[in-house]
C-alpha cells in the first residue's frame, strides 16, 4: 500500500473510528485501526465486536492495499503530524509502515491485516432515512435513562420505533423512563414494509450522537438485517448488534391523568435541586423530598452525618398539595435535558409515577417513580 | 457566631483555603474549614499540617465566634448558593450551623472548633518583600524540576535565595536543574540582615503560585522563623515548614563553556520532540536521541514494540557535531517553560550535562544530564 492524503481528513477519520478501537480486548488485532486503499479512497475501520465504525476519505492511491496499525499510537501520531499532507507506505521487507509528513518520519510496526474482521455493509433491503438533527435529539434526550446494569440487557439499550405516526426513542431502567417523539417525513419510502421496532445498545447510540455533529443538514440511513443495525451518513458507517428481547409496553407506564400539576422555572428548579442533593445521603438512593404547595415547592434533604437542606422555589400549581420523595439524580438528569424556560411536573400520589415535561414540547416525556420514605 | 457577608467574597475565600483542607488525614478536624468572626472580618483557615492557608474577608459580624465546618460540603455548597449575600449563624441548642442565602437554607453539622490548630502569624523580624509577578515566575519556571520521590527530602523543595545580587529559585531532582533569577528592589530593607537561603516544599510553592493571580500588582511579604516560612499578600496568609538540610552548590553543576551551541525555534523543536517522544520506550527513561548537525538537528527514538521515529528541525549551530540522548520528558518540561521564539541548546560531550536557555533571558537556566546509551 502507498497513499498520500490530507492530514486534516486523516485526523478526522482516525478520531471518528477511534471509539471502536478495543482497549481491553484479549484479541490484539482489535486494538488496531485497519486502513484499506483503493480507487482514490482510503477507508479506516475499527471494531471491538460491540461497535464497528468505518470512515472513508479521499486519497491519492499509488498502490492499493490494506494494513493495520496500533490504534493508540497511530491516533496520537496523526493528531500531531506537522505537514498538510501525509504519506503512508508499507515496507515490503519488514512489517513496518512508513508515515511521513513534512520533516517527520515514522516507521510503525503493523499488525497482520488478514486477521482483521473487516466490516461489510449490511446486505439489507430494510432501511429508512431520518434527518441527522432529529436522530441526535432522539438519542440525546433519552439514552441517559438506560440501565447501566447488564443484568437485564433489554434496558441497556434504547428502543427505536418508526411507523406511520413518526419516529420515537424510549429508554428506561425501570425506575425512570424517557420518551422522545418526532416526525418521520420519509415514512412510506421503499424499504419500510412494516413497523420498525428494535432495541439498540446505549453505548452505540451515544457514539452515533457524538458523530452527528455536521453543521450541514444531512440524511442518516438506518438499515437492519437479522440481529444487526447500521447507521450511515456522510462518509461514516457504524454498525452494532440489536439487543434481543421484548421491550415492555411503555405506553402503559406513562400516566395520563394527574391530581397535581405544577409549572416551575427550569433553571431555578435545577439549581435548587442540585444544592439540596449535595446533602442527600450518599449511596444508591440520593433521596430528596418535595412538598408541592399552591404557589411554591419546598425541597429538602436530611443527611444525619452532614446536615439538612431546605429550598423554596416558586411554582404555579393546580390540584392537590402533595409530599413526595425522589432519587435526586433522576430529577437532575431530566432537568438538564429540558431546554424550555418552564417545566411541568405532574403527580398523583406519593407512591405513583410522576411525569416531568418541558411545557412547550408535547413530544418529550419523562416518567419517574417516587421513593418510599418512612 | 452570627455574620452576613457577600457570597462572591466567601466563595473566593473558601476556594483559597480549600487546597489546605486535609482529605486523607486521620484527624477529622483537619478535614474542616475554620471560620472566625471578629471586628467586621471573617477569617477562614485550613491546614493539613503541611500547608496552612488563611484568608480573611469583610463581613457584618453580629455575634463574634468561631466554628469549623466540613471542608468538602461547605465548599460545594457556597459555590452554588443562589443569593448575593450569605448569613452564617451557629445554633446554640444543637451543634449545627445555619447557612442561609436567598431562599436556600442549610443546617450543617459542625466540628469542635476548640480542636482546630488555629494558624498564628509567625512572630518574626526576618522578612522581605517581592513583587507578585516576580515570585510567580520564579516558582513557575523552576518548581517542575523538583524530585517527587521523598527519599531525599531536600530535592522535593525549591531553594529560595535572596541577597544583594537579587532573588533566585533553584529546583533539581539531580538529573536536571532549573534556575531562575530576578532583581530584588527591596533588598536592604529592614528585616534582611543576612543572606536568605531556604528550601521550601514544592507542593507549597505550587500553591502560592496558584494563589498569585491578582491582576493588580502587589507585594508579597516573605517571613521566616525557625523552621517555618510564610507568604503574605492581599488578604491571604500561607505558611509551611522549611525543609531541613543542605542544598548542594548548584553553581558547580551549571556548565559555563560549551563545545556545541545550537539555536532552535522553540515551537518547532517542542512539536518535534513531542512526536518523537510518542515512540520513546515507556518506563523510567523515555530515551530519545539528538544528532546536532551544522544546520539542523535530527531527533530519533526506537521502541522495539512499536516502531521508530525520526524528525529533522532546522538549527543554527556553532562548534562540534554531537550525538547525545536525553529523557524526553526532561526536554519537554523546559521547552514548555520557554516563552521566547528561540532557545539555545549548549553541549559538551555525550556524557556531560547540557544547558537549555531562552535566547533572550540570561536569568533562566536549565541543566540536563544526558542518558548513556549503548
Of residues B80, B107, B278, nearest to A274 (C-beta): B80
pLDDT value, residue B192? 55
Range list of β-strands (E), B23-95: 32-38, 41-47, 51-58, 60-63, 65-70, 85-90
Q: What pLDDT is recorded for position B124?
A: 80
pLDDT for res B186: 59
Q: Domain span at residue B307? A: 254-368
Q: With 60 as the cut, is the pLDDT of residue B4 above it?
A: yes
In a domain, B30, yes or no: yes
| Segment (H or E) for A10 | helix A7-18
Q: Do B364 and B279 fall into the same domain?
A: yes
On average, the pLDDT of chain A sits at: 93
Of A70, A109, A278, the CB nearest to B77: A278
The CA distance from A182 to A191, in Å, is 20
Name the domain boundary from B204, B221, B250: B250
- CA angle A42/B281/A67 to nearest 5° reads 20
Cα dihedral sign, B320-B322-B327-B333: positive
Please say which residue of B223, B250, B277 terminates a domain: B250
Confidence (pLDDT) at B284: 58
What ipTM score was computed for the predicted complex, to two decimals?
Answer: 0.88
Please check whether residue B242 is in contact with residue B325, taking contact to mean a CB–CB distance below 8 angstroms: no
User: Which of the listed residues B219, B234, B250 is the one where a domain comes to its end?
Assistant: B250
Q: B206-237, pLDDT tens digit by residue?
A: 999 999 988 889 999 999 999 999 999 999 99
Q: Which residues of B touch A305 (CB under 8 A)?
A: 109
Q: Is residue A149 domain-shared with residue A190, that is, in the same domain?
A: yes
Q: What is the reported pLDDT for B123? A: 85
Closest chain B CA to residue A310: B105
Q: Can you tell me the distance from the alpha carbon of A258 to that of A186, in angstroms, rounded to the nearest whole number?
A: 35
How far the first Cα of chain A sits from its last, in Å, is 70
Paired with B128 in beta bridges are B222
How far, in Å, CA of B234 to CA of B221, rounded? Answer: 10
The pLDDT of residue B198 is above 80? yes
CA separation for the pair B83, B5 (Å, rounded): 11
Long-range contact list for B95-103, CB < 8 A, 24+ apart? B96/A307, B96/A308, B97/A307, B97/B67, B97/B69, B101/B7, B103/A272, B103/A311, B103/A312, B103/A313
Q: What is the pLDDT of residue A124?
A: 80
**Strands A85-90 and A41-47, how do they pair?**
unpaired
User: How far apart, in Å, are the Cα atoms of A231 and each of A41, A120, A131, A204, A209?
Assistant: 20, 13, 12, 10, 11
The reply to whether B363 falls in a domain is yes
With beta carbons less than 8 A apart as the criterion, state whether A347 and A322 touch: yes
Q: Residues B300-305: what's their mean pLDDT?
A: 92
C-alpha B197 chain-centroid distance: 18
Same domain, B134 and B239: yes
Contact residues, chain A, for B73 at CB < 8 Å: 278-279, 306-307
Question: Residue B184's pLDDT is what?
Answer: 84
Structural domain contains residue A373: no
CB A45 within 8 A of CB A116: yes
Question: How would residue B95 be classed by pLDDT, with cut points 50, 70 and 90?
Answer: confident
Whether residue B7 is contained in a domain is answered as yes
Residues in chain B with CB shorter than 8 Å from the CB of A96 are 307-308
**Is residue A374 in a domain?**
no
Element (H, E) at A92: none
| pLDDT at residue number A165 | 87
A221 and A334 part of one domain: no
The number of folded domains in chain A is: 3
- Report CA-CA distances (Å) from B284 to A370, B153, B327: 54, 20, 9
**Distance separating alpha carbons of residues B196 and B184, to the nearest angstrom:** 12
What secondary structure letter does DSSP report for A259?
Answer: S
Q: Is residue B373 part of a domain?
A: no
Task: Look at A275 and B81 and tell me if their CB atoms are within 8 Å.
Answer: yes
Query: Do A244 and A140 lie in a common domain?
Result: yes
> Distance between CA atoms of A31 and A36, rounded to whole angstroms?
16
Report the percent of chain A where pLDDT is more than 90: 85
CA quadruple B280, B319, B173, B360: dihedral sign: negative
Q: In A, which residues are within 8 Å of B107 by CB distance?
A: 307-309
Q: What is the pLDDT of residue A192?
A: 55
Q: Are residues B260 and B244 in the same domain?
A: no
Angle between helix axes B7-18 and B71-80 (nearest 10 degrees) is 150
Q: Is B114 exposed, middle or buried (0-12, 13-18, 19+ CB in 10 A)?
A: exposed
pTM summary value:
0.90
Looking at residues B175-199, what average pLDDT do you find?
80
Distance from CA of B306 to the nearest CA of A (A): 5
Query: Could B307 and A109 be called an inter-chain contact, meaning their C-beta atoms sit closer than 8 Å?
Result: yes
Tell me how close the Cα of A189 comes to any Cα of chain B, in angstroms.
Answer: 50
CATH number (domain holding residue B291) = 3.10.150.10
Q: What is the pLDDT along chain A (374 residues), one digit of tens a residue?
A: 999 999 999 999 999 999 999 987 679 999 999 999 999 999 999 999 999 999 999 999 999 999 999 999 999 999 999 999 999 999 878 889 999 999 999 999 999 999 999 999 888 878 899 999 999 999 999 999 999 988 899 999 999 999 888 999 999 999 999 999 998 875 556 555 568 899 999 999 999 999 998 888 999 999 999 999 999 999 999 999 999 999 999 999 999 999 999 999 999 999 999 999 999 876 656 899 999 999 999 999 999 889 999 999 999 999 999 999 999 999 999 999 999 999 999 999 999 999 999 999 999 999 999 998 86
Amino acid at each position: 500500500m502507498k497513499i498520500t492524503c490530507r492530514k486534516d481528513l486523516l485526523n478526522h477519520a482516525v478520531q471518528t473510528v477511534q471509539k471502536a478501537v478495543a482497549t481491553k480486548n484479549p484479541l490484539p488485532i482489535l486494538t488496531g485501526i485497519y486502513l484499506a486503499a483503493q480507487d482514490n479512497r482510503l477507508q479506516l475501520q475499527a471494531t471491538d465486536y460491540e461497535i464497528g465504525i468505518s470512515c472513508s476519505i479521499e486519497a491519492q492511491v499509488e498502490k492499493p492495499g490494506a494494513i493495520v496499525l496500533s490504534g493508540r499510537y497511530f491516533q496520537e501520531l496523526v493528531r500531531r503530524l506537522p505537514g498538510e499532507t501525509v504519506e503512508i507506505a508499507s515496507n515490503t521487507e519488514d512489517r513496518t509502515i512508513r508515515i511521513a509528513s513534512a520533516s517527520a518520519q515514522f516507521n510503525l510496526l503493523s499488525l497482520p491485516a488478514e486477521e482483521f474482521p473487516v466490516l461489510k455493509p449490511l446486505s439489507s433491503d430494510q432501511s429508512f432515512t431520518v434527518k441527522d438533527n432529529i436522530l441526535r435529539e432522539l438519542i440525546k434526550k433519552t439514552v441517559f435513562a438506560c440501565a447501566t446494569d447488564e443484568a437485564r440487557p433489554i434496558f441497556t439499550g434504547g428502543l427505536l420505533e418508526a411507523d406511520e405516526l413518526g419516529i420515537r426513542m424510549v429508554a428506561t431502567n425501570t425506575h425512570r423512563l424517557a420518551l422522545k417523539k418526532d416526525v418521520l417525513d420519509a415514512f412510506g419510502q421503499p424499504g419500510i414494509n412494516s413497523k420498525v421496532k428494535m432495541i439498540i445498545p446505549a453505548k452505540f447510540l451515544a457514539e452515533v450522537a457524538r458523530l452527528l455533529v455536521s453543521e450541514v443538514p444531512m440524511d442518516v440511513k438506518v438499515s437492519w438485517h437479522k440481529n444487526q443495525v447500521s447507521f450511515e451518513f456522510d462518509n461514516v458507517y457504524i454498525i452494532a448488534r440489536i439487543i434481543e428481547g421484548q421491550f415492555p409496553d411503555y405506553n402503559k407506564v406513562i400516566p395520563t391523568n394527574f391530581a397535581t400539576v405544577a409549572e416551575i422555572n427550569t433553571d431555578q428548579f435545577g439549581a435548587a435541586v442540585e444544592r439540596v442533593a449535595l446533602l442527600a445521603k450518599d449511596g444508591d438512593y440520593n433521596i430528596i423530598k418535595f412538598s408541592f404547595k399552591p404557589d411554591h415547592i419546598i425541597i429538602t434533604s436530611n443527611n444525619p452525618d452532614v446536615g439538612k437542606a431546605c429550598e423554596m422555589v416558586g411554582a404555579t400549581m393546580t390540584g392537590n398539595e402533595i409530599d413526595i420523595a425522589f432519587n435526586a439524580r433522576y430529577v437532575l438528569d431530566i432537568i438538564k435535558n429540558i431546554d424550555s424556560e418552564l417545566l411541568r411536573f405532574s403527580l398523583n400520589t406519593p407512591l405513583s409515577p410522576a411525569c416531568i415535561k418541558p411545557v412547550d414540547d408535547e413530544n418529550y416525556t419523562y416518567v419517574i417513580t417516587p421513593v418510599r420514605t418512612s
